[in-house]
Structure 1
Amino acid sequence: MPKPVTSAAASAPPSASPVSTPSPKGLKTRRQIVENWLPRYTGVPLKEFGDHILLTNFQRYVNLFAQWHRVKVKGKDKPMPNATAGNITIINFGMGSATAATVMDLLTAIKPKAVLFLGKCGGLKHRAEIGDLILPIAAIRGEGTSNDYLPPEVPALPAFALQKAISTTIRDSARDYWTGTVYTTNRRVWEHDAKFKKYLRKIRAIAVDMETATIFMTGFYNEITTGALLLVSDQPMIPEGVKTAESDAEVDETYVTDHLKIGIESLNQLINQGLTLKHLKF
């Protein structure tokens, strides 16, 4: 009988191939990493991004933006679907402070002129009704993620010039808004927790969310001009105000269109007037 073949070549699996690194020399610097990862997360080459960014947690915003501007939604199979029209790119980065920090870090690859977060929040005071807009002047860092960037005592603040442009746009749209401090938390399913709700009342915040403080802090850390405009989508301090699938769908149908339009017009105001946004030395 013939002897079985025992050479290394014959015994190796047919599909075996050398493991390749992401780049010939590897990713050694922060710059190399973000330039590699932003296209990987979004499916878009760096050169195709606008220099003004809208951030959102919800795909409806991206779809509406693409529909209005007659452009394609890209990266549908990626973690961060997006669309670009002119100088503006909108990105759905997902939910929570960890992904908020990730997208802000990755955006350093293109050094945007401005980043505006269009988020939803829970109103903590009765005067902030569902559908109202909140233009935060600061955020309380209850999420923990931002502590990896700057010490806890550093305040989470937006860029004044960007918030001013948003304020003007809202008034030009014959709308009004609330302003105040937003508490950002990593917690979910806390609406039953009486102790936590007592704490939220004590700190006098007007709203609660999961991203604003992180975006402000990572924007400051990365020297990116950053702002936020929040839409009150629920009133979690009372049982009948806790968000449900039905109530969230109603908010989407009734209020999201105006929220997105104001965000787009705010950035267009900056673009068309060529306003200087960086008044701080980072």
Structure 2
Amino acid sequence: MSFKSSSAQKPEAGGLQYHTRLKAGDIPPYVLVPGDPKRVAKIVALWEKPEEVADYRQYHTMKGEYQKAKLACTSSGIGSPALAIAFDELLRVGVHTFIRVGTCGSLQPDMYIGDLVITTGAVRLDGASKDYVIPEYPAIAHYEVVEALIAAAKKLKVKYHVGITASTDTFSVGQGRPGVNGYLPSHKAKIFEDMQAANVKNFEMEAGCLLTMGSLFGVRTGAICVVVADRVRDKFELTDAMEQKCAIVASEAVRILQK
């Protein structure tokens, strides 16, 4: 697909964003953000009036309605660098409320596969957010989004936890898992134990950057993830039902925010 912009500083053509292929007015200002592009269609299948909007690279966007609440879903791809691009372009087309919907690994003994984790803040173990602001700047979810997610989880009677998330740049070594040939450097060998002792609830790879950028640019952000990796008991499972549960809670939270 050809694309020509009048500026390399802000690559867009007629308001069309380079990576997401979105422009102002294409989608509602409330967006769920999964990582996996294939998860977008699964989420929107739970809504009414589903409509394809754009699909380029890892950024797949659809929109629809959930109990009369208008919302959209855009995949970010894996990790904070890809998330930062999606956030930037969604912000440019008018989005003001972002909820990450994803999977995670649990760190605490009272957490099990299938539980939901609502993030209040994040340990910024990623690199992308540090391009935007100093490491000491906090990654905090917007309180209105946190409250809406909790209210939605209670209404739908699902098991959930609320607390701090650790966001890493890598899936294996960054989260204390041995890499190829058992490679695990000393500075990451105790990351699981350190985060567990600090009462961090879960590992994932995007929330820290999302929350940081939300505060920087004055918009609402939050995150809800379903536990697929029980790191305490060394178990792993992911089902469609688990993904749907997380997506429904996030969709209900958007409905609450629009009331």
Interval containing the TM-score (normalised by the shorter chain): 0.7 to 0.9
1:229 aligns with 2:224: yes
Instruction: Please tell me whether the aligned partners of residues 123 and 234 of structure 1 are also in contact (alpha carbons under 8 angstroms).
Output: yes
SS in 2 for 1:152: coil
Q: Tell me whether 67-76 or 144-153 shows the greater mean CA deviation.
A: 67-76
Cα deviation 1:76-122 (Å, max 9, x = unaligned): 44330110115311011100011111111112212323111112110
> CA separation in 1, counterparts of 2:241 and 2:134?
40
What is the 5 A alignment of 1:150-189? 150-189=133-172
Instruction: Please tell me whether the aligned partners of residues 59 and 74 of structure 2 are also in contact (alpha carbons under 8 angstroms).
Output: yes
What is the 5 A alignment of 1:81-92? 81-86=60-65, 87-92=70-75
- For residue 181 of structure 2, what is the aligned residue in structure 1? none
Instruction: From 249, 255, 258, give the equivalent of 1:268.
Output: 255
Task: State, as a whole percentage, how many aligned pairs show the same letter.
Answer: 19
> What displacement does 1:28 show?
6.2
Q: Which runs of 5+ in 1 are unaligned?
A: 1-19, 274-282
> CA separation in 1, counterparts of 2:90 and 2:205?
19
- For residue 24 of structure 2, what is the aligned residue in structure 1? 46
Matched positions, count: 241
1:218 aligns with 2:197: no
> What displacement does 1:134 show?
0.8
SS in 2 for 1:204: coil
Give, as a single letter, the amino acid of the residue that structure 1 aligns with 2:50: V
SS in 1 for 2:124: strand
> What displacement does 1:37 show?
8.1
Instruction: Please tell me whether the aligned partners of residues 62 and 73 of structure 1 are also in contact (alpha carbons under 8 angstroms).
Output: no
Give, as a single letter, the amino acid of the residue that structure 2 aligns with 1:233: V
Q: Which runs of 5+ in 2 are unaligned?
A: 179-183
Distance verdict in 2 for CA 1:226–1:107, change over 3 Å: same
> CA separation in 2, counterparts of 1:198 and 1:60?
33
What is the 5 A alignment of 1:102-113? 102-113=85-96
The structure where helix makes up a greater share of residues is 1
Q: RMSD of the alignment, in Å?
A: 2.4
SS in 1 for 2:50: coil
- For residue 98 of structure 1, what is the aligned residue in structure 2? 81
Distance verdict in 2 for CA 1:186–1:84, change over 3 Å: same
1:64 aligns with 2:42: yes
> CA separation in 2, counterparts of 1:41 and 1:98?
13
Give, as a single letter, the amino acid of the residue that structure 2 aligns with 1:146: S
> CA separation in 2, counterparts of 1:54 and 1:185?
20
> CA separation in 2, counterparts of 1:35 and 1:252?
40
- When normalised by structure 1's length, the TM-score is 0.77
SS in 1 for 2:19: helix
Higher RCO (C-alpha under 8 Å, 6+ residues apart) = 2
> CA separation in 2, counterparts of 1:44 and 1:34?
10
The structure where strand makes up a greater share of residues is 2
Give, as a single letter, the amino acid of the residue that structure 1 aligns with 2:228: S
Instruction: Please tell me whether the aligned partners of residues 212 and 228 of structure 1 are also in contact (alpha carbons under 8 angstroms).
Output: yes
Cα deviation 1:30-86 (Å, max 9, x = unaligned): xx4467786432334332111111100123431123333342434344330110115
Larger Rg: 1
What is the 5 A alignment of 1:131-146? 131-146=114-129
